[in-house]
Structure formats: structure tokens, C-alpha cells
């Protein structure tokens, strides 16, 4: 099995509000996609 797009695209992650530590260059740097024990696909980003 492998994931497939079944609807419109949507954003998984965005830039977090880091307050005084935020810069114009910040961006999400890592992500993972996996299938859970119940068969659903999970998305994670940081």
C-alpha cells in the first residue's frame, strides 16, 4: 500500500510563531508520513 491524494491539496505545516526568535528565513525542516495500526495515514512536521 502507499498513500494517494483523494481530495484537494492542503498545507501540512507552516511557519510557527516564534516571537522574538522568528526570522524571514525560518521554515519547517522535517516531516514524516506513516500508516497507523488502524490503517489511517498520519502526517507530522516540525
pLDDT of residue 5: 81
C-alpha cell at 34: 506513516
pLDDT of residue 15: 82
Residue 41's pLDDT is what? 87
What is the C-alpha to C-alpha distance for residues 31 and 40, in angstroms, rounded to an integer?
17
Please give the chain's pLDDT, 46 residues, in tens: 777 888 898 887 788 888 999 888 888 778 888 999 999 989 887 7
Using alpha carbons, list the distances in angstroms from residue 1 to 12, 30, 34, 37.
21, 23, 11, 13
pTM of the predicted protein model: 0.49
Amino acid at each position: 500500500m502507499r498513500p494517494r491524494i483523494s481530495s484537494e491539496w492542503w498545507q501540512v505545516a507552516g511557519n510557527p510563531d516564534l516571537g522574538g526568535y522568528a526570522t524571514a528565513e525560518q521554515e519547517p525542516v522535517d516531516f514524516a508520513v506513516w500508516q497507523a495500526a488502524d490503517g489511517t495515514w498520519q502526517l507530522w512536521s516540525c
